[in-house]
Every structure is written in C-alpha cells, then in structure tokens.
C-alpha cells in the first residue's frame, strides 16, 4: 500500500532530510515549516506510529519539563528520499532567515 502524504507532511520530511540522522525538537520543526502545533504534532505522531520516526524524551534542567525529540528511522529516511527528492528552495530560505535572525 502506497502511503499518501499531505503537503504539510512533505514539508516536515524535508526538514528531516536536511540532517537525516540528527534528533530534532518539535518547536524547531515548527519554526522552519511554519506549521502550528495543532498541525505539526499530529503529523509527527502519525509518522512515529508508522515507524517512520524515532522518538525520545530529553531530560532538561530541574524544574523544566522534558522535551520530545524526533529523527527519521531507516524506513522514514527511505520514504523521505523517495517522496522529497529535491530539498525545497523555500525551506532553505526559511532556515537561512531564521539563522540570520538569531544572530
């Protein structure tokens, strides 16, 4: 069965393809894709449920809640490369703009 992916899901996969073996925070993915949490987190949960993303909790300083991390599984990487063969110019432009804004 071929998996249907929404344009929003493809945007998320493009972010992971920039550094496919790195863990990413949902907040950072949201900033790059411009997806609101109500759209992004259901996408991340569906990808994780389908074993396309690994998930992990990162412990932080005392008094701060742990943060959820995500990265592509080998199957997720294969799917992302198949469905997003060329990184989006728009996505790269957003990443550069965010980097410059942060200083």
Question: Residue 1: what pLDDT?
Answer: 47
Residue 18 lies in a domain: yes
Residues 82-98: tens digit of each pLDDT = 998 766 555 555 555 55
Residue with tokens 């863990």: 23
Question: What is the residue range of 70's domain?
Answer: 7-102
CATH of the domain at 93: 1.10.10.10
| CA–CA dist 82, 45 (Å, integer) | 21
Q: Are 80 and 74 in contact (CB under 8 A)?
A: no
Residue 2 lies in a domain: no
| CA–CA dist 75, 81 (Å, integer) | 10
| CA–CA dist 67, 64 (Å, integer) | 9
Tokens at residue 19, please? 């550094």
Residues 30-46: tens digit of each pLDDT = 999 999 999 999 999 99
Looking at the whole model, is its pTM more than 0.85? Answer: no
Residue 1 lies in a domain: no
Tokens at residue 56, please? 């992990």
Total domains, the chain: 1
């Amino acid at each position: 069965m071929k998996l249907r992916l929404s344009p929003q899901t493809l945007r998320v996969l493009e972010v992971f393809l920039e550094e496919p073996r790195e863990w990413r925070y949902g907040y950072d993915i949201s900033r790059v894709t411009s997806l609101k949490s109500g759209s992004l987190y259901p996408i991340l949960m569906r990808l994780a449920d389908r074993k396309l993303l690994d998930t992990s909790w990162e412990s932080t300083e005392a008094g701060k809640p742990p943060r959820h991390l995500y990265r592509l599984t080998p199957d997720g990487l294969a799917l992302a490369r198949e469905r997003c063969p060329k990184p989006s110019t728009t996505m790269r432009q957003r990443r550069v703009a965010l980097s410059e804004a942060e200083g």
